[in-house]
Amino acid sequence: MGHHEPDIALSEPSADEIKTTTCYMCACRCGIRVHLKDGRVRYIDGNRDHPVNKGVLCGKGSAGIMTHYSPARLRAPMKRVGPRGSGEFQEITWDEALETATGWLRDVRARDPGKLAFFTGRDQSQALTGWFAQQYGTPNFAAHGGFCSVNMAAAGLYTFGGSFWEFGEPDWEHTKYFMLFGVAEDHASNPLKMALGKLKEKGVKVVAINPIRTGYGAIADEWIGIRPGTDGLFVGSLIHELMRAQKIDLEYLVRFTNAHWLVIDDPKAADDGLFARDEAGQPLAFDKTTAALADAARTDISPALVGTFKLPDGRSVRPSFALIAERFLTDEYNPDKVAVATAVPAGTIRRIARELAHAAFEQEVTLDIPWTDTAGRRHEKTTGRPVSMHAMRGISAHSNGFQTCRMLHLLQILLGSIDCPGGFRYKAPFPRPTPPPNKPARAVGPNAPLKGAPLGFPQGPEDLLVDAGGKPQRIDKAYSWDAPLAAHGLMHMVITNAATADPYPVDVLFMYMANMSWNSSMNIPAVLRHLTAKDEKTGEYKIPKIIYSDAYSSEMVAYADLILPDTTYLERWDCISLLDRPISGADAPADAIRQPVVAPDRDVRGFQTVLLDLGARLGLPGFVNDNGTPRYPGGYPDYIVHHERSPGIGSLAGFRGEDGKSYGRGAPNEKQLDSYIAGGCFHEHRLAPEQRYYKHANKAYLDWAKDAGFIGASAPITFQLYLEPLQKFRQAARGHGPVQAPATHRARIDKYFDPIPFWYAPFDNAANETESFTFSAITQRPMHMYHSWGSHNSWLRQITAENCLYMNRERARKLGIADGDWVWIKNPLGRVKGRVRLMEGVNPDTVWTWNAIGRRAGAAALDPDAPEATRGFLLNHLINELLPEREGGYRFSNSDPITGQAAWYDLRVSIEKAAPDEQGETWPQFVPLKAPSLAGAEAAP
Amino acid sequence: MHPAYSVIVFTTASGAGYGLLIWLAVAAALNLVPRDPALGFVGLGVALALITIGLLASTLHLGRPERAWRALSQWKSSWLSREGIAAIVTYLPAGALGLGWVFGEFVPGQIATGAWLSVPCALITVWCTGMIYASLPTIRAWDQPLVAPVYVVLALATGGVLLSLLLAAFGYDPRWAAILSVVTLALGWFLKARYWLAIDTAPKTHTAEAATGLGRFGTVRPLDPPHTQPNFVMREMGYQVARRHAEKLRRLSVLLLFVLPIGAGLLLLLDLPSPFQIAIASLAALSAAAGVLTERWLFFAEAEHVAMLYYRGGVA
Amino acid sequence: MTSLPETTSKKLGLVIDLDTCVGCQACATSCKEWNAGGYSAPLTDQDTRGSDPHGTWLNRVHSYEVGDGPDSRTVHFPRSCLHCETPACVTVCPTGASYKRASDGIVLVNPDTCIGCKLCSWACPYGAREYDTDDGVMKKCTLCVDRIYNESFAPEDRVPACVRACPTGARHFGDLGDPGSAVSLLVKEREGFDLLPGMGFKPVNKYLPPRDRRDLTTASAPRAAERTVAGSGSLADRFFAWADKTLAR
Ligand SMILES: Nc1nc2c(c(=O)[nH]1)N[C@H]1C(S)=C(S)[C@@H](COP(=O)(O)OP(=O)(O)OC[C@H]3O[C@@H](n4cnc5c(=O)[nH]c(N)nc54)[C@H](O)[C@@H]3O)O[C@H]1N2
Ligand SMILES: Nc1nc2c(c(=O)[nH]1)N[C@H]1C(S)=C(S)[C@@H](COP(=O)(O)OP(=O)(O)OC[C@H]3O[C@@H](n4cnc5c(=O)[nH]c(N)nc54)[C@H](O)[C@@H]3O)O[C@H]1N2
Ligand code: SF4
Ligand code: SF4
Ligand code: SF4
Ligand code: SF4
Ligand code: SF4
Ligand SMILES: [Mo]
């Protein structure tokens, strides 16, 4: 009998039409092609031309269809009709919703605009939302950066004018040694994966420093299972070793950093620890050739890096490098000393240092690219030290994250590997000047806009937003003595502070795209109490009005009074702007848009368009024309094209000018969006080879960047190894200067505002009881889930519908805990129950779980008995938003003392086996939420 | 393996049906029983009903039962296909036998021919059923030489028990049938015990290390399953019965399927009054039915599938 | 017919690199997404918002830990049909719905004739067959047969969805029957292996083992960084002396 094969349609077209846009299953913002068939989304694949993902797609991006068609989508605007948290809502018209919001906001603006707290979460339109806050006149604005990774952003921006996060990337093509600190997934989700694949193929060594070995760590050549919060010791120890072996790029230091700047040594004086400056305010160096002080910026001197010198007034000064070297050469950072605390053997530290030195100094990369530096010196070739690093929340989410991240940058700079071939490279619009020049704006008064953007970078005590008594002026206490360099605000403190009127109450809390009553808050039970707490006298909620925009039925929706339902990412315009979070590559500034590829089938509107509408209804300056009519009647796309931040500078850098031929600066172009769409919804400007490296001192680049509007001046950017602004705060804490720290804060500022990076033990919720809380408890992002978004998606939740507590096998055995046992995870704040899974690849003192898998019963259109609610759990219930009381009764937030970065990963817990009758279900359990009216029916493609 | 009731009912009912058919055919051919049309009608009716119920039950296991006829096409390679064909073919001689017995022969030799053809057809069918399982190298407990023989012998044994009941009920001497059933039950017991011994001692040759190819790095332990809730493969092949529980069930099935029916068969050899015979034979049939269901349930529940190495690690 | 072709002109298959797979699930979800609307459509899901969410997926990603202590490894392990050369999943099929294509060796299920008896899933040692409970027929990796020859696609897109998506480049597609093909060379170079070779199914798909841990730089690194440069005084003093001397510009 013959072999029979049926006929198969082998060339069935995948779509009637393919439209490009930008993925938003996470913030990586890959280019996608949406295949549409019969008016529905049939398939999504990556755009091969796109600079971010070059055609690949991750696990989330490939499941986008089911997020788009999720039954958890909101259907129409709603107002709350039951008590807060009950989930009882009534659908209303957009007109009613917008009028209600306008009424509330107009009223507040007329009295005290600061009583509006406007906070946005997973936002990619901060250029717009920040501008709204500014024009409205409230300083109480921030996005999610404060609970995310402001430690990384701030440490980098203050130190070298760039940063990890999305502001830079390793030179994947040339690097010969790559170290990855505390990264499970990252915002550069696909680029990292693509790069790791290539590095491994090329035989480049990859080292993962992480208490947990999964994902990237699993494929690394070496996994260093460090104890959480001790990276500063490890990195400090590497620096110690490199100095000991004299493997430091001194030439690089004097060219690009403040290593040779002289620091005043006069302990009693107000300017102790500040840089010695000449009359013009220029920092001084000691020129060995002339044996005299000289402007440190001069390139014709031979500056001393060590030694003690005298100022004309007789006071002693020392090059900052000498102070730095002294710190790291002490025994404190000796590998033998740090081995126990870090759980990294001394031999390993020494070997890694040796490998770093080898890669940096023996494997120098030389490219045939001539370039000219800012001093006008032409270099025929571009050479670099090919060691590169990347770090994220494993460093940032600790209360010592700012200093640890600074130390990492110090290490990179000592090796001479910033923005050189094979090193860590800036992505436009970075580098920017150090320390960053823009300051946070102050509140002005009723019906008045702020004079500048609400967020900025203080350089000293005068820039803080505190009143005469040192009391915070922002609701989140950002830019106060609690967190002076809180460049991204402290979104995680807003609900607590507003409800406890500390520092003051607010009238309206307006939030967007942040699940603040669940996975993005600490201490959820307390947050839920705050959200429903009422004033005993008036019977009114302590947070009187809450407006919230979400696209899905999240936990936060249930606690809002007015819901502004957003579209899905495939239904709206968006702008991924260079004014906001860049998607540039190191060789090419780039920005992108999202275009609606399908029309909403519900009564929902894109939030940005709604915000522009609100601004117009409120008559905010810039949102209306002189005659009061809306300035951007076409909504967000209208704004993207026509809004100018400063003359010629707008949301998108590509196709500017009336003819669409200018880049960066140019008049609005009516056809701009069409050009973007024609080009795949992104625009990339490729830098000339001579502009690509050493951008901080590259004349061709800096001149161009100034023209493009990225930076104000084309002066070279000097790396701040020694961070003088910190010393200014410290001096204020020592009783110097016009703005001084309150007594309660002095010791703290004095200790942590060290201008030279150092390691200190992270704060800890269980501070006084560390002995019994022996485990660090941390979380990781699963690669296929995006925070709580993942469970909206009926495919992704099949992959992970519940989470376990992972423990080291050997350690568990000693505690009599077996795989699958249910355990209590305890700390002084409370306890959470979860099921244990044992593994080898985890630091023995660490337990961990996947983040944001646990959901509250009833949320996200899930059945109340969904595993997310019955077995999935959050560690957030145990993370206190406040540190224990100190003398004087003051409670600082559980954050980095410098930046206010939420210290999610400082958590310490004890683990105890649950009783036999306690197995099987997680704890705590909350009252199931009632689902508001939802979009309903879903269907696979 | 997941013990699906449709498949358990299929194999046990059709097995007993074919067994009964075989013995009735032998009896008819050798004139061991009178040509009592009522006996023929009831006896062959029960046999064919059991066979048919079994076959219908098996279609309940199908996702597309309306396409079941397609299963007949691949007799060259597929034991399931062969089983289906054999089952259908068996209806012909069995029908000839039955019609001849109940209504008298239409053609001379109809009964004898039908009977003599029914026997191999039925045997082949049961053998094919057994071979569906025995031909799967992925399941160590099935990939055993005794699987198909056990299927055949247990079909004969359970058929024998039914025949005893049938003869007793019709007031005929059940002793020869009792002897047959005692012998086949004993043989079944012996083979099943050997089978259990075989699966308990046969080395497990497949390992998670070979399944993943990662053995060079050490012992392979699953960390996270692909999905947190069980999938088709885990539901179908991941069924596990605890060792101790299995031991108990083995003993129970020995008791119900072998010990009690053999005891009953021996009792039937005594010249007891008919009501006692009927009662004893009925109890034997019930016991054997429960026993064979238990045996068959265990046959699935105890079988481990190689694919589960990916989910559980270890050996299979 | 269920009998296997004597030979196939090609042996199309996947090569999966366990050295670079990070377990991101892109291959699993892109497979689901393509096939839920393609030749395998539908790929149904059960209890999508309930307590037991599960469904039909043609590709699943496991993770394993191998070995103990410091020498242990974590390995992510995607698993789909291996398009075996002599697979029992085809020969046990009573309907002929399961077949191996003579032209390229792809093992497929004819969705129009499958009766959903599940026997082929019992016969597959790799757990690669996925019965679709709602559709009532067996599903499995089709090697994206409706993509790889698809003339409505750009040539570079005529690859399986999972290969197209994989961000780390851990998945390769090609003709493993051609010893000169890129995939065959890769398998040769990296010593690609078969899963469960003892089953005798001769899988076409190959897996590449995790590479040896690289300590290249260590091996070749001069011991320089190890010694502390001579001189007198404290560590800092010696370092300062070096810095002063070295930096003379
Ligand atoms: N324990 C612990 N807690 C953490 C972290 C941790 O590592 N461990 N990480 C912290 C960090 S870094 C972050 S960034 C936060 C993230 O936490 P969140 O910012 O809360 O992030 P998500 O849960 O992703 O989603 C926020 C909300 O956006 C909604 N949403 C989704 N798509 C859209 C849309 O298109 N439009 C609108 N308007 N809304 C949409 C979702 O429904 C959800 O309610 O979590 C923080 N919390
Ligand atoms: N798939 C997916 N991608 C995402 C997100 C998501 O939810 N899902 N979220 C996005 C967001 S908002 C963010 S902020 C980024 C964050 O991206 P990542 O920084 O990758 O975020 P985390 O998962 O928190 O990873 C932190 C890692 O640090 C490790 N770690 C914890 N403490 C320490 C320590 O003290 N030292 C060291 N060395 N390591 C430590 C943890 O084990 C973990 O592996 O990811 C973004 N991308
Ligand atoms: S990394 Fe994945 S989810 Fe994030 S934007 Fe890219 S494709 Fe989308
Ligand atoms: S897409 Fe690639 S890296 Fe991701 S799980 Fe699949 S094979 Fe591994
Ligand atoms: S992997 Fe399984 S389903 Fe695929 S060909 Fe081999 S035996 Fe058949
Ligand atoms: S389930 Fe379908 S493909 Fe598999 S053996 Fe049965 S009929 Fe054949
Ligand atoms: S080849 Fe196609 S069907 Fe097979 S696993 Fe890859 S995407 Fe899925
Ligand atoms: Mo974040």
Per the CB < 8 A criterion, the answer to whether A424 and A170 are in contact is: yes
Contacts of A814 (CB under 8 A, 6+ apart): none
Q: Report CA(C90)–ligand 5 centroid distance (Å).
A: 8
Task: Estimate the crossing angle of helix B5-29 against helix B147-169, to 10 degrees.
Answer: 60
- The end-to-end CA distance of chain C, in Å, is 83
Per the CB < 8 A criterion, the answer to whether B26 and B115 are in contact is: yes
The Cα of C82 is separated from the nearest Cα of chain A by a number of Å equal to 19
pLDDT tens digits for range B118-152: 999 999 999 999 999 999 999 999 999 999 999 99
User: Looking at residue A394, what is its pLDDT?
Assistant: 98
**Cα–Cα separations (whole angstroms), residue A742 to A565, A879, A891:** 44, 27, 14
Q: Does residue C35 line the site of ligand 7, with CB under 6 A?
A: yes
The CATH architecture annotation of domain B5-312 reads: Up-down Bundle (1.20)
Q: Report CA(A65)–ligand 7 centroid distance (Å).
A: 18
Nearest-CA residue for ligand 6 atom 7 is C114
User: Looking at residue A124, what is its pLDDT?
Assistant: 81
Q: Is the pLDDT of residue A317 over 60?
A: yes
Per the CB < 8 A criterion, the answer to whether C174 and C181 are in contact is: yes
Determine the atom of ligand 7 nearest the C-alpha atom of C143: 1
**Partner residue facing A193 (CB), from C110, C168, C247:** C168
- d(CA A403, CA A382) in angstroms, rounded, equals 31
User: Looking at residue A3, what is its pLDDT?
Assistant: 55
Contacts of A847 (CB under 8 A, 6+ apart): A775, A776, A777, A778, A805, A806, A807, A825, A909, A911
Q: Does residue C79 line the site of ligand 4, with CB under 6 A?
A: no
Q: Which residues of chain A neighbour B223 with C-beta distances below 8 Å?
A: 837, 839
- d(CA A50, CA A21) in angstroms, rounded, equals 10
Q: Report CA(A306)–ligand 8 centroid distance (Å).
A: 41
Residue-range domain boundaries for chain B: 5-312
Name all residues whose Cβ lies below 6 A of ligand 1: A 121-122, 144, 147-148, 512-515, 519-520, 549-552, 554, 556, 566, 568-569, 607, 779, 786-789, 851-852, 875-876, 904
The CATH architecture annotation of domain C12-208 reads: 2-Layer Sandwich (3.30)
- d(CA A443, CA A114) in angstroms, rounded, equals 7
User: Looking at residue B208, what is its pLDDT?
Assistant: 98
- d(CA A841, CA C73) in angstroms, rounded, equals 7
The three-state DSSP-derived secondary structure of C161-221 is HHHHHCCCCCEEEEECCCCCCHHHHHHHHHCCECCCHHHCCCCCCEEECCCCCCCHHHHHC
The Cα of C210 is separated from the nearest Cα of chain B by a number of Å equal to 9
DSSP letters spanning A573-621: -EEE-TTSS---BTTB-EEEEE--SS--SSS---HHHHHHHHHHHHT-B
User: Looking at residue A2, what is its pLDDT?
Assistant: 45
Q: Does A799 touch chain B (CB under 8 A)?
A: yes
Q: How many CB atoms lie within 10 A of CB B248?
A: 12
Tell me the one-letter amino acid at B49: A
Q: Does C15 touch chain B (CB under 8 A)?
A: no
* Torsional sign, CA A244, A245, A249, A250: positive
Residue A398: closest CA among A935, A922, A897: A897
- d(CA A148, CA A476) in angstroms, rounded, equals 15
**CB within 8 Å: A840 and C67:** yes
The Cα of B313 is separated from the nearest Cα of chain C by a number of Å equal to 9
Grade residue A582 by pLDDT with cuts at 50, 70 and 90: confident
Name all residues whose Cβ lies below 6 A of ligand 6: C 92-93, 95, 97-98, 109, 114-120, 138
ipTM of the complex: 0.96
Mean pLDDT throughout A577-583? Answer: 90
Ligand nearest to the CA of B137: 5
User: Looking at residue C225, what is its pLDDT?
Assistant: 46
- d(CA A130, CA A368) in angstroms, rounded, equals 43
Per DSSP, the three-state class of A18 is: strand
Burial of C155 (0-12, 13-18, 19+ CB in 10 A): exposed
Residues of chain C with pLDDT below 70 are 1-2, 215-231, 248-249
Q: What is the DSSP letter of B104?
A: -
Model pTM greater than 0.80?
Answer: yes
Q: Is the pLDDT of residue A1 over 50?
A: no
| Beta bridge partner(s), residue A644 | A650
pLDDT tens digits for range B241-271: 999 999 999 999 999 999 999 999 999 999 8
- d(CA A882, CA C247) in angstroms, rounded, equals 48
Question: Alpha carbon C213 to chain centroid distance?
Answer: 21
Q: Among C16, C18, C24, say which to mutate for ligand 4: greatest number of ligand atoms within 8 Å of CB.
A: C24
Q: Is the pLDDT of residue A940 over 50?
A: no
User: Looking at residue C229, what is its pLDDT?
Assistant: 58
The Cα of C57 is separated from the nearest Cα of chain A by a number of Å equal to 10
Per DSSP, the three-state class of A781 is: coil
- d(CA C60, CA A349) in angstroms, rounded, equals 38
User: Looking at residue A563, what is its pLDDT?
Assistant: 98
**CB within 8 Å: C79 and B226:** yes
Mean pLDDT throughout A71-79? Answer: 96
Grade residue A768 by pLDDT with cuts at 50, 70 and 90: low
The Cα of B128 is separated from the nearest Cα of chain C by a number of Å equal to 12
Mean pLDDT throughout B201-207? Answer: 94
pLDDT tens digits for range A824-857: 999 999 999 999 999 999 999 999 999 999 999 9
pLDDT tens digits for range A778-831: 999 999 999 999 999 999 999 999 999 999 999 999 999 999 999 999 999 999
Residue C9: closest CA among C130, C215, C178: C178
User: Looking at residue A426, what is its pLDDT?
Assistant: 98
Mean pLDDT throughout A350-354? Answer: 96
> What part of C 156-185 touches B (C-beta under 8 Å)?
none
**CB within 8 Å: A799 and B227:** yes
Tell me the one-letter amino acid at A734: R
Ligand nearest to the CA of A22: 3
- d(CA A831, CA B61) in angstroms, rounded, equals 47
User: Looking at residue C3, what is its pLDDT?
Assistant: 79
The label of the residue with tokens 């190689």 reads B306
Q: Is the pLDDT of residue A220 over 70?
A: yes
Q: Report CA(A515)–ligand 1 centroid distance (Å).
A: 5
Q: Does residue C204 line the site of ligand 7, with CB under 6 A?
A: no
Residue-range domain boundaries for chain C: 12-208
- For chain A, the helix, strand and coil percentages under 3-state DSSP, each to the nearest 5: 30, 20, 50
Q: What is the dihedral of CA B42, B46, B52, B56, to 10 degrees?
A: 120
Nearest-CA residue for ligand 2 atom 30 is A394
**Cα–Cα separations (whole angstroms), residue A255 to A179, A267, A437:** 25, 29, 22
Q: Report CA(C36)–ligand 2 centroid distance (Å).
A: 31
Determine the atom of ligand 6 nearest the C-alpha atom of C123: 5
User: Looking at residue C94, what is its pLDDT?
Assistant: 97
Q: What percentage of chain B reaches a pLDDT higher than 90?
A: 99
Q: Report the chain C residue with the minimal C-alpha distance to residue B1.
A: C122
Residue A722: closest CA among A253, A258, A153, A402: A258
Nearest-CA residue for ligand 2 atom 45 is A186
User: Looking at residue A888, what is its pLDDT?
Assistant: 74
The Cα of A718 is separated from the nearest Cα of chain B by a number of Å equal to 47
**CB within 8 Å: A867 and B76:** no
Q: Which residues of chain C neighbour B136 with C-beta distances below 8 Å?
A: 88, 92, 122-123
Q: What percentage of chain A reaches a pLDDT higher than 90?
A: 95
**CB within 8 Å: A799 and B223:** no
Burial of B183 (0-12, 13-18, 19+ CB in 10 A): middle
Determine the atom of ligand 6 nearest the C-alpha atom of C118: 1
Q: What percentage of chain A reaches a pLDDT higher than 70?
A: 98
**CB within 8 Å: C118 and B236:** yes
Q: Which residues of chain B neighbour C62 with C-beta distances below 8 Å?
A: 222, 224-226, 310-311
Q: Does residue C78 line the site of ligand 4, with CB under 6 A?
A: yes
Per DSSP, the three-state class of A707 is: helix
**CB within 8 Å: A1 and B76:** yes
Helical segments of A397-507, H only: 401-414, 494-499
pLDDT tens digits for range B154-197: 999 999 999 999 999 999 999 999 999 999 999 999 999 999 99
Q: Which residues of chain A neighbour C67 with C-beta distances below 8 Å?
A: 840
pLDDT tens digits for range A107-164: 999 999 999 999 998 888 999 999 999 999 999 999 988 899 999 999 999 999 999 9
User: Looking at residue A449, what is its pLDDT?
Assistant: 98
- d(CA A733, CA A607) in angstroms, rounded, equals 43
Mean pLDDT value across chain B: 96
**CB within 8 Å: B228 and A839:** no
Mean pLDDT value across chain A: 95
